[in-house]
Amino acid sequence: MNEQVDLLFFAAHADDIELSCGGTIAKSVKDGLKVGLVELTRGEMGTRGTPQIRYRESQRAAKILGVEFRYQLDLGDGGLRTGRDEELEVIEVIRRHRPRVAFAPWPDERHPDHVRTGRICTDAGFYAGLRSLQTSRAAYRPQVTAYYMQNYVLHPTFVVDVTAAWKTKMKAIAAFKSQFHDPKSKDPMIFISDPKFLGMIEARGKHFGAMIGVEYGEAFLTKQPPKLDDIIGAYEGREH
Ligand SMILES: [Zn+2]
């Protein structure tokens, strides 16, 4: 396992990452970047599947995406704790893996755990860089925290072309058998297990893709705009 990664994706729950960023992860790995995934909870409040089943599924999905590692903290599903102790735990994760870019949910979301994940990861990303804050590891600050969207759709700051990685993303999502549509499952139907849900993911990928003139896209927000060297390349093919 490679401890140090280029991109580190945080989420409250395992499958959150695949749904919003699976294509970006698969593409980045293919491009030679090192990627790590960290969930802040064990998903123990989920309606379908057990934390053990979801953990196994998440490891299968991680293999499909080709990431260096995936593990979980235990900050409490359905009431995620965000006190100083929890903040220090996230700071340690950032100092341990030293990502150039950290990813987290946009901190205004339908699910309060997503909101809290977005906030604690943003704050920890800043605090991790304070040299006077001493922990067992050296100070380190990512360049930026980039946010992905979950329930609420906002106008993105940038869109990643994930056309070539879309199949891998959907394969990784399918690894979460307990969560998504399975006609044989006896678990109660929830929002994401409705067959319409995966259709929505497909439609969203196409919608964001259309925004940049490609087949599939994944969209992100940053509070500061990205630096652009190639203005023409950035808008290539959009005259059609
Ligand atoms: Zn979630």
pLDDT tens digits along 42-56: 999 887 778 899 899
CA–centroid distance, residue 166 to ligand 1 (Å): 21
CA–centroid distance, residue 11 to ligand 1 (Å): 7
204 part of a folded domain: yes
150 part of a folded domain: yes
Quick: pLDDT tens for 175-192.
Answer: 988 877 666 777 776 666
Quick: pLDDT tens for 102-115.
Answer: 999 999 999 999 99
CA–centroid distance, residue 153 to ligand 1 (Å): 15
In the predicted model, residues of the chain with pLDDT beneath 70 are 1-2, 181-183, 189-192
52 part of a folded domain: yes
23 part of a folded domain: yes
2 part of a folded domain: no
239 part of a folded domain: no
1 part of a folded domain: no
* Percentage of residues in the chain having pLDDT higher than 70: 95
CATH number of the domain where residue 172 is located:
3.40.50.10320
Task: Output the 3-class SS for 39-75.
Answer: ECCCCCCCCCCCHHHHHHHHHHHHHHHCCCEEEECCC
Query: Residue 99 sits in which domain range?
Result: 7-234
N-terminal to C-terminal alpha carbon distance within the chain: 44
Question: What pTM did the predictor assign?
Answer: 0.94
Number of domain units in the chain:
1
CA–centroid distance, residue 213 to ligand 1 (Å): 29
